[in-house]
Structure 1
Amino acid sequence: MYFDQSPYSVRVEWGRRGAREAADRGDIVIIVDVLSFSTTVITALEYEAIIYPYPPHLDGKEYAEKIGAEYILGRAEAAKIGKATLSPVSFHKEHSNKSYVLSSFNGAFCTWMASKVPALLVGSIINASSVARVANSLSKETNANITIVPCGEQWNEVQENEDSLRPAIEDYLGVGAILSYLVGHFSPEAEVCLGAFLHSKEKIAELLWECGSGRELRERGFSADVKHSLQLNHYQTVPILKNDHFVKSNL
């Protein structure tokens, strides 16, 4: 028998499996991938760009051509030619009203897994209070529970009998930041996540700067992405999935 967090109205479930479980229950879902899918989507919508999330196992380039959008390339490849990338700081006013297809192994994949829910929001450290406010409002309006999905990362060179999901502390603390503004009956998983954030709040920037994901981006030349992603409540923009793309929530 599978013992889940069903007795509670606010839950935390990891990765693609967690996204599917939340979708199967019909929960309101908040996708959290701090470095960098969530932060990139929030920043892109702040500049009025239109983002179509797309899973990496399907042909995103073909899909982009079909809908008349630009397919977002990898950070290093796109940066060389000055295009928007998975890097959140690559988006500016010039991208306003332009459409982009964004694929990623974590945030975009989890979004695809949980797309058929009453509401799917994107949350991160930079919009923690705002995404919680919208989720609280939707939960009250629809009487639906809330599941936050920290997407995590993928291990490199996964060997036989090993899991590919690498739990990432930037997502765990990002979820904790959102939980600090949510209301409801928290599961033990959510309570511990909230406690981690409250304990680390005063040094969260230092922790995430030095965490594995942060160091990886910095060593690849994307320190600006990490700095941008660590700004608590920097934006009020809350992306919500409508049909196949994200729009700003009007709540």
Structure 2
Amino acid sequence: MHVAEQRPFSVRFGWGAEDLAVLARASDVIVIVDVLRFTTAVAVATARGAHVLPFRWRDASAPRFAVEQGAVLAGLREDPATPWSLSPTDLAGIPAGTRLVLPSPNGAALSAAAIELGTTVVAGCLRNAAAVGALLAAEVAAGHRVAVIAAGERWPDPAGIPHAGPLRPVVEDLLGAGAVIARTVDAGVLTRVPISPEARAAMAAFRAAEPDLHDELRGSVSGRELLALGWDDDVASAARLDVDPVVPTLHDGAFTALQCATGPIR
């Protein structure tokens, strides 16, 4: 047993692939949080009846994977030839039943890694924090242990390869993870005892930022990157709290929504 597993606690919190690998060994449910923009996009798409297949990176293998899965491959928002992208604003109009391969070096990569670890995987964000929190509260009440993983970003590695270097924690994922944890506490009327100090710290950050979520996201590094591209609409979409009553859960390699989940998954 490793102390970093946070085993004394029912609700845990960690960052990136490193904490995912440790916490998944001692958790029944893993929630991946990548607010700008992967898990926000997943919440929007699945709330509209789409199925989202996470893919680690948009490389030469991505189109082949999409064909094999009978799915459409998301493109870049700036490319008018592709109707769907990582943009939650774009995905607001996605038809029900669409199978969408959605590449992302952070949230999708973590989701794919979590599948391999053999645990239940959920996509969480600000938009579906209440729905995910209700599910997690039911899981904890049933005696299960849950972990919320903030994706963060990656610095380039020493050779300059993007997304391959050390973890860079980002505020929007801290707030999204904190929102999920806060809603878990609210739904389950939990005391401090089952919640790790790491999870309580994330929750406290969210509680402090809750009145000004849009401004907090706009001021973050990732938010300012999107603003520079003219995509404040994506930031505004990501900042909307508790508007999607869905719990996107990975089944057979695709996130599919559990509508208004109120009981444990198993």
Q: Same fold (TM over 0.5)?
A: yes
1:202 pairs with 2:211: yes
Who is 2:166 aligned against? 164
Q: Deviations over 1:186-220 (max 9, x none)?
A: 11111111111112222222111111000001101
Task: Give the one of 64, 67, 79 matched to 1:65.
Answer: 67
Kindly report the root-mean-square deviation, in angstroms, between the aligned alpha carbons of the 2 structures.
2.1
Structure 2 contact 45–92 (Cα < 8 Å) conserved:
yes
What's the secondary structure of 2:149's corresponding residue?
Answer: strand
Q: Can you give the 5+ residue segments of structure 1 that lack an aligned partner in the other structure?
A: none
Task: Give the one of 225, 241, 249 matched to 2:250.
Answer: 241
Q: How many Å separate the matches in 1 of 2:243 and 2:58?
A: 33
Who is 1:101 aligned against? 101
Cα–Cα, structure 1 residues 92 and 208, in superposed 2: closer, same or farther, change >3 Å? closer
What residue identity is the alignment partner of 1:186?
I
Structure 2 contact 178–205 (Cα < 8 Å) conserved:
yes
Percentage identity across aligned positions? Answer: 29
Who is 2:146 aligned against? 146
Who is 1:178 aligned against? 180
C-alpha displacement of 1:230: 0.3
What residue identity is the alignment partner of 2:145?
N
Q: Deviations over 1:13-61 (max 9, x none)?
A: 1011222223222431111000000000000011111111122287222
C-alpha displacement of 1:75: 2.6
What residue identity is the alignment partner of 1:97?
G
Who is 1:112 aligned against? 112
Structure 1 contact 23–113 (Cα < 8 Å) conserved:
no
Structure 2 contact 75–82 (Cα < 8 Å) conserved:
no
Q: How many Å separate the matches in 1 of 2:167 and 2:58?
A: 16
| Deviation beyond 4 Å, 4+ runs, structure 1 | none
What residue identity is the alignment partner of 1:39?
T
Structure 1 contact 125–232 (Cα < 8 Å) conserved:
yes
Who is 1:10 aligned against? 11
What's the secondary structure of 1:217's corresponding residue?
Answer: helix
Q: How many Å separate the matches in 2 of 1:25 and 1:56?
A: 28
Q: How many Å separate the matches in 2 of 1:217 and 1:128?
A: 22
C-alpha displacement of 1:118: 4.1
What's the secondary structure of 1:180's corresponding residue?
Answer: helix
What's the secondary structure of 1:170's corresponding residue?
Answer: helix
Task: Give the one of 217, 220, 224 matched to 2:233.
Answer: 224
Q: Can you give the 5+ residue segments of structure 2 that lack an aligned partner in the other structure?
A: 262-266
What residue identity is the alignment partner of 1:237?
V
C-alpha displacement of 1:94: 4.6
